[in-house]
């Protein structure tokens, strides 16, 4: 049944585009990458944490992908291939700026016994998306994500901001799927812990009852 | 078996992603029916995920797309820019 889904259609279109680019219509590469601009930028930003560097990494990744397009094998999705390239570009940039400490960091932060507890509340009034019209709220959310430890922020960005699945995220970051799940859980709990008490008391317009009771309860 | 709040918290993320077992899901739901704290933790976590994922929170720098395609066009036009053949 997958042949008829929008995703399958999109992948088919991409394969056609790639074939045409490789046989000479190279300008079509602009169209091929257009849907992924945001993904490229956000992924790079989650690693280098700096707008200028993130933009440069995104550009370098696109050029790298263009030059190596013939090496793209249809056995993975184009988006997965592209995100792997931008992760590598961003990590290289980071390494140039400072010695990469990620591997040793993984060991220390990821101790299994470390507990991540959320902020306990007894009532939650849903903050509707319209509240994002307020610049202050957008900044608060951005800062909270920026403040996550690197390894958690990267997973959160790929999984929750870009809606990549666990396997794709694991592949792009070069970690196993279980690590993706653990890091995502911790990232979400940390955000809940810092943001929930703030959002609750900040006078952000809330809506009672939307999430209030689960539909199945 | 009754789940503790701590146990529920340790599975909040898996519960949201629907990656817990059917049995655990049922146990969590039974707990949520009677626990205001865990319900609020779940609701607030979900709410925060929805808010942060909104495109307005992390925006592309102004002119990002234009600069990207300009640079790409330059690379494409430069000599020796033919796509690598296998």
Helix axes A78-97, A166-173, angle to 10 degrees: 40
**Res A192 pLDDT > 70:** yes
* Chain A residues touching B14 at Cβ < 8 A: 181, 185
DSSP, res B82 = P
Tell me the C-alpha distance between A68 and A25, whole Å.
Answer: 15
Which residues is A207 bridged to in the sheet? A126
Q: Sketch the domain layout of chain A as residue ranges.
A: 2-97, 102-201
pLDDT exceeds cutoff 70 at B31: yes
Joined tokens for residue A77:
């999705």
Mean per-residue pLDDT for A125-129? Answer: 92
A201-210 pLDDT per residue, tens: 887 888 765 5
List Cβ neighbours of A145 (8 Å cut-off, separation of 6 or more).
A153, A156, A157, A161, A191, B52, B57, B58
The DSSP symbol for A117 reads -
Tokens 């992948």 belong to A11
Q: Output the pLDDT for position A209.
A: 54
Interface residue B60 vs chain A (CB under 8 A): yes
The arithmetic mean of pLDDT across residues A95-111, rounded, is 58
DSSP annotation of A121? -
Asked if B74 contacts A157 with a C-beta cutoff of 8 angstroms, the reply is no
**Confidence (pLDDT) at A37:** 97
* pLDDT, position A126: 92
Q: Is residue B75 within 8 Å of residue B81, measured between CB atoms?
A: yes
> How many CB pairs lie under 8 A apart between chains A and B?
167
Better pLDDT: A178 or A211 = A178
**Residues in chain B within 8 Å Cβ distance of A142:** 57-58
- What is the reported pLDDT for A207? 76
Tokens representing B7? 């146990």
Select from 3.40.50.2000, 1.10.10.10, 1.20.1560.10, 1.10.1740.10 the CATH code of A2-97. Answer: 1.10.1740.10
Domain A102-201 CATH (choose: 1.20.210.10, 3.40.50.300, 1.10.10.10, 3.40.50.1370): 1.10.10.10
pLDDT at position A203 is: 75
Q: For residue A4, give both structure tokens.
A: 């008829």
B20 close to A (CB below 8 A): no
What is the pLDDT, as a whole number, of residue A168?
Answer: 94
Q: A67 — alpha (psi -120 to 50), left (phi > 0) or beta? A: alpha
- CA trace torsion A33, A36, A40, A41 (10° rounding): 110
- pLDDT of A172-184, one tens digit each? 999 999 999 999 9
Residue A29: pLDDT above 90? Answer: yes
Interface ipTM: 0.90
Stretch A96-119: mean pLDDT: 61
Contact B64, A55 (CB under 8 A): yes
Task: For residue A128, give both structure tokens.
Answer: 């509707």
Could you give the percent of chain A with pLDDT greater than 90? 70
pLDDT averaged over every residue in chain A: 87
Kindly determine whether residue B14 and residue A185, on different chains, have CB atoms separated by under 8 Å.
Answer: yes
Say yes or no: B30 contacts chain A, CB-CB below 8 A: no
Identify the residue among A17, A19, A21, A38 best suited for mutation to test binding to B, counting B beta carbons within 10 A and taking the highest.
A38
Model pLDDT, residue A110: 53
Report field, pTM of the whole predicted structure over 0.90: no
**A125 is written with which tokens?**
């009034």
């Amino acid at each position: 049944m997958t042949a008829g889904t929008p995703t399958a259609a999109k992948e088919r279109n991409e394969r056609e585009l790639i074939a045409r680019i490789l046989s000479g219509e190279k300008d079509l590469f602009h169209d091929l990458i257009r849907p992924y601009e945001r993904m490229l930028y956000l992924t790079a930003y989650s690693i280098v944490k700096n707008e200028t560097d993130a933009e440069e990494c995104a550009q370098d990744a696109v050029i790298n992908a263009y030059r190596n397009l013939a090496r793209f094998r249809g056995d993975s999705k184009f988006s997965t291939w592209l995100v792997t390239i931008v992760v590598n570009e961003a990590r290289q940039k980071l390494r140039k700026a400072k010695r990469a400490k990620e591997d040793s960091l993984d060991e220390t932060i990821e101790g299994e016994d470390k507990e991540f507890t959320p902020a306990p509340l007894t009532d939650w009034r849903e903050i509707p998306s319209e509240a994002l019209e307020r610049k202050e709220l957008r900044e608060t959310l951005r800062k909270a994500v920026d403040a996550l430890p690197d390894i958690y922020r990267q997973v959160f960005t790929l999984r929750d901001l870009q809606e990549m699945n666990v396997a794709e995220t694991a592949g792009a970051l070069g970690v196993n799927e279980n690590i993706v799940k653990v890091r995502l859980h911790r990232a979400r709990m940390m955000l809940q812990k810092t943001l929930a008490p703030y959002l609750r008391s900040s006078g952000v317009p809330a809506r009672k009852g939307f999430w209030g009771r689960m539909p199945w309860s | 078996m009754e789940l503790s709040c701590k146990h529920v918290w340790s599975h909040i993320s898996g519960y949201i992603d629907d990656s817990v077992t059917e049995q655990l899901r049922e146990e969590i739901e039974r707990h949520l029916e009677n626990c205001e704290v865990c319900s609020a933790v779940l609701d607030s976590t979900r709410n925060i995920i929805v808010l942060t994922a909104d495109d307005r929170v992390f925006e592309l720098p102004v002119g990002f797309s234009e600069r990207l395609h300009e640079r790409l066009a330059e690379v494409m036009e430069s000599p020796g820019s033919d796509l690598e053949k296998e």
